Amino acid sequence: MCLGIPGKITEVYDQQGIAMGKIDFDGIQKEVCLAYLPDIEVGDYAIVHVGFAITKLDEQAAQETLDLFREIGSLEEELGD
């Protein structure tokens, strides 16, 4: 449960007063809370932990991490799918 995974923000919206969004982890879509990254925009990359974006990340670094997760097969495991 402890890992943080990078993903790309594809949607930003408000839900009951909280900034939420959709995030794409290399093809797997999830809802994500964006309240802790108020400046984040569609197209940005962020590290997501238990459904919350905790820090921004540049695109290249994010893609490299995702490739690695795919390789070791821990992406699905971490996302609970």
Partner 1 sequence: MKYLDEYRDPELAGKLFDEIRETGKHHWTMMEVCGGQTHSIIRNGIDQLLPDTVELIHGPGCPVCVTPLETIDRALAIASSPDVIFCSFGDMLRVPGSEKDLFRVKSEGGDVRIVYSPLDALKVAGENPEKEVVFFGIGFETTAPANAMAVFQAKQLEIANFSMLVSHVLVPPALEAIMSSPSSRVQAFLAAGHVCSVMGYWQYEPLVEKYRVPIVITGFEPLDVLEGIRRVVVQLEEGRAEVENAYERAVLREGNLPAQRMLKDVFTVCERTWRGIGSIANSGWELSDKYREFDAAHRFTVTDIKTQESPLCRSGEVLQGLIKPNQCQAFGTVCTPRKPLGATMVSNEGACAAYYRYGRFAEVESANT
Q: Which tokens is 72 given?
A: 């070791």
CB 23 to partner 1: min, Å: 12
| Shortest CB 35 distance to partner 1, Å | 6
Alpha helices in the chain (DSSP H): 59-72, 75-79
The least CB distance from residue 24 to partner 1, in Å, is 16
Q: CA angle, 60 as apex, 46 and 13 as ends, to 5°?
A: 30
Site for partner 1 in 8-67 (CB under 8 A): 16-18, 30, 33, 35-38, 47, 49-52, 54-55, 57-58, 61, 65, 67
Report whether 53 contacts 37 (CB < 8 A).
yes
Secondary structure (3-state) at 74: coil
Q: Give contact residues for partner 1 (rule: CB under 8 A).
A: 1-4, 16-18, 30, 33, 35-38, 47, 49-52, 54-55, 57-58, 61, 65, 67-68, 71-72, 74, 77, 79-80
